[in-house]
Every structure is written in structure tokens, then in C-alpha cells.
Amino acid sequence: MILAPLAQAETLSMPAPGNELIGEIRYVRAKYEDTLIDIARENSIGQDEMVMANPKVDRWLPGRDTLVLLPRQYILPAAPHSGIVVNIPEMRLYFYPNAGPNQPASEVVTYPISVGRMDWHTPLGTTKVVSKIKDPAWRPPKSIKAEHARDGEILPDVVPPGPNNPLGQYAMKLGVPGYLIHGVDVDKSYGIGMRVTHGCIRMYPEDVSKLFPEVSVGTPVHLVNQPVKVGWLNNELYMEVSQSLDEDAISYDTLYRTAMALIAQKTADRKVVLNMQVIQQALHKPSGIPVQISGNAANANAPALPPKLPTNQSPEVF
């Protein structure tokens, strides 16, 4: 167990060839005045992923010296290791600095994000950063003005730069009209890591201030939907499961088939004994934490998972 000092998003080395996990699980002890949301922001973790990783810890009053798990280990999304990759159900952004067609990525930085609500979903596909704006003004579109008007709030035509601007201090426009990666105003600074936006990608103010100067106009942005990720670490196979998007309405059976198809792809050139109990457990109760699914024992992250589900299935070999 690693007891970690508080830390913001960090630059991580790309894994060695054949490996696909970055980072490590860490723990901190809560102070008397802490909430899980405070600890999440101090460690560049989203609100939902922090709560999901600590299901038995009270969100608002963890309690002095309570051990809080920091879910800071990730399987890299199955997407190009260049530019920006956004895995929407994971609500996490991956940035590969200095990577390009002739320059393999050597580092990756990952940040929690907020994405679009079910009725204002964030789009999928590949686009790019088309412009960057410091201290942007916000011009709410008619649809958002109408939504606020129904709640009795009349939005102005233009919200000038400042602490109450919903775009924060930094904004990067994407090639998809109307969509941006941006910061937040003072009232929403602790709401990162939830489905609360009108489709844009929000970041903590301190995170977007680090990302903004590193991203060039023209940087590719890959928007993917991968609630299940599978990857290798030191010849052991791991799986990471996030909550599926509500609008996808993915049943357990569909999620199971998706996971088994990904596992089959990863094990096409080598045999591995699968722990079906751990696989089923992770799919039934997503934790957002990579768990070892090969071999006969759950990995060291198992205490963060819910109790095992009963199963009569024996390990399968792929």
C-alpha cells in the first residue's frame, strides 16, 4: 500500500513495450475537515470516480484518518497514442505531448473531466483543436438560453471574461461546431467528473491551465466510448470497467460480451487462465480501477471492489 502525498495531475512515462497500464493505486488519510470531493480535486480525480472507488466512505464526511483510495492507475484507451484522447464513460482525458506520426509517445498526462448530460451528449469521433482562447467570453446559444429561461433565469447574450464565466480562463474550440475543452467558473470548480455539461468537456481550472499551453492548434482529439478497457502489465491481464453511458442502455450480457471480445483480442497470441469471478464482479459493480483478471487470485486492488458474486463457472482459457 502506497500512502501518497497530495498531488495534482502528473506526467507519466509510457509503459514498457507489451504493457498498457500507467500510474499506480495510492492512498491518503482524510483530515477532519476533508470531504471526498476535496480529496478528489487535490489529486486531480473526478468526483464520480472518487466515490466509485471508495463505496464505503461517506462522500461528505469521511472522518479523520479514514484511508481513502486514490484511483490513479489506468489502462490506456484503445486509441492513437497522440494528441488528446477523451474516453467519455471514464470521464478522463489523456494527452500525449510531443507525439506525432514519426514520433512515438514517451509520456502521457491524464486529467479528469466532466462531459455532456444524456440530453446534451458529448460527440464521438476524431476532430481537432481549431482555436485557443485565453479569457474567453461566453455567448450562450439559443437552446441553452431557452433551458435557463424555463427555470426562470434569463441569460445575457454575452458573459464577459471573469470568475463567473462558465468557460473559465481557458478554452480550446474543437472542429465539431459548438464544442470546447474549457475550464469552469468559481461555482462549478468542484463539479468535475460528472455528466453535467451541455456537451462540452470541462476541466478543473488548475488542470486546464497546465494543458492549455501544451496543446497546439491542429492537435488531434479522439473522442471514444470505452466503458471496458483491457490491457497487459508484466504478463498479467487487467480489466478496467467504468459506468456505461445512460443513453447506451448497455445490459450486463452486452457488457459481458464486449469484455470477452476485448479479452479474446488481447489473448489472440498467448494463452491465459482467466479468473471469471473477478471478471463478473468488475462488470456487475464498476469501480474504475484496473483489476487483474488472469490467474487464480484478484490483484492487490481487490479491497476497493465490492464483495465477490457467487459463480459456478470455472476459469476459462483463451
198 labelled catalytic: no
CA distance 289 to 75: 9
Q: Please choose, from the candidates 71, 38, 119, 100, the residue with its C-alpha nearest in 3D space to the C-alpha of residue 303.
A: 71
DSSP per-residue string spanning 173-197: EESSTT-EEE---GGGTT--SSEEE
**Contact predicate 221/77, CB 8 Å:** no
User: Which listed residue (182, 198, 222, 284) is catalytic?
Assistant: 182
CA distance 315 to 298: 13
**Contact predicate 241/282, CB 8 Å:** yes
User: Which listed residue (81, 121, 198, 200) is catalytic?
Assistant: 200
Whether the CA torsion 28, 30, 31, 36 is positive or negative: it is positive
φ and ψ of 44, to 5 deg: 55, 55
**Contact predicate 113/195, CB 8 Å:** no
User: What are the catalytic residues?
Assistant: 182, 200
